[in-house]
Each structure stands twice: as C-alpha cells, then as structure tokens.
Amino acid sequence: MERKGAKERIIEAASHLFYFEGYNQTGINQILKESGASKDSMYRHFNSKEDIAVTYLKDRHIMWVGNLLSYIKSKKTNKEKLIASFDYLNEWLADVEFRGCGFQNIICDLPKDQQKIKDQVALHKNELRDLIHDLLKEENQYTTEGAEQLGDEILVLMEGAIILSQIQKNSWPIISAKRTCIKLL
C-alpha cells in the first residue's frame, strides 16, 4: 500500500486535532508530530495554520454534505428528506460521541483575524441553508418567501439541536428538534 503524501498526512492529522482538540488548542508542532511531516514540507503546501484549517473545512464540507445527501436520498418526498435529516444528525452525533459540528466548534474557537476560516464556515452554513430552501421550494406547497422562511426555521432547529446535543452529550435535542420540524411541515 502506498504511503500518503505529506500534504494528505498533514490534513488528516490537523482534521482530527481541530475537530477533537480544538483549533486554538492545536499547534503546528502537534500537527507535524501527528502527521510525521517536516516543517519544510508543511510550508511547501500551506502558508499558515489558517490555510490548513480552510482545507480541513473544505474537505469536511464535502464529506458532511455528501453523507447527508446519501442518507436522505431514499426518501420519496422532500419533506421526508428534511425529517430524515434529523435522523442523520442523530446518527452522526452519536457516532462522534456528541463532539458537535466542526464548523460550529471552530468558529467559537477562532481568533478575530482568521477571516478565511470565517468565510469557509459561512459558506458551509449558507449551502446547507440553500439546500433546505431548495427542498421546500420543490414541494410546490410554499411560496418562495414561505419556503425560505420555513427553511430558516428548520436550519435554526438543526443548528440549535447540534450544539445542545453537544452540551448535553445526548440525543434528546435532535429528537425534540425533529418533532418540531414535523409540526412545522
């Protein structure tokens, strides 16, 4: 089996450390130690820890949205897909022992000058918002404005349930948010 390149090892190590230890708590030397990469090879691929984090968030976005879409694709209606999204959240969060959302975690742990990271977090949350809006608009039951308003309410349910499940280390917030989503739909 071929050994991963330095860039892949750095991203893999940083991804794990950023998610489970926190962005501010993770130093470059720790990333290098975990990845087995040299400082020289790291700076060949990344200009800064912030650049590593942006790559981590881009990869996480692709993985997370892909997993969500794969999870809900078997549902017949878009309303069923939205409801099943909460089941996805529940399984994902239980699987990571309620560590929470990597995007929520990093934004709460961020120095003020890290704009590229803030932009990547906003992109992820805005794309999730657009996905929810699109699912509701395709139902043809709502006006565009109504679909967007309801979509925003569902997004707030999801985001709030994720952070509360992290705080509580329990799935009840996701289950409660799912029940509320069903009532809204």
4 and 60 assigned to the same domain: no
- Global pTM reads 0.92
> pLDDT in tens for each of the 185 residues of the chain?
567 899 999 999 999 999 999 999 999 999 999 999 999 999 999 999 999 999 999 999 999 999 999 999 999 999 999 999 999 999 999 999 999 999 999 998 788 889 999 999 999 999 999 999 999 999 889 999 999 999 999 999 999 999 999 999 999 999 999 999 999 99
Say which CATH number the domain at 41 has.
Answer: 1.10.10.60
Task: Quote the crossing angle between the two packed helices 78-95 and 49-72, to the nearest 10°.
Answer: 130
59 and 11 assigned to the same domain: no
pLDDT, residue 57, reads 97
Q: Which domain holds residue 18?
A: 1-46
Task: Measure the CA–CA gap between 181 and 142, rounded to whole angstroms.
Answer: 15
Q: Which one, of 6, 103, 114, 109, lies nearest residue 51 by Cα?
A: 114
96 and 120 assigned to the same domain: yes
Q: Structural domain tally of the chain?
A: 2
72 and 153 assigned to the same domain: yes
Say which CATH number the domain at 173 has.
Answer: 1.10.357.10
Amino acid letter for position 90: N
10 and 60 assigned to the same domain: no
167 and 80 assigned to the same domain: yes
65 and 9 assigned to the same domain: no
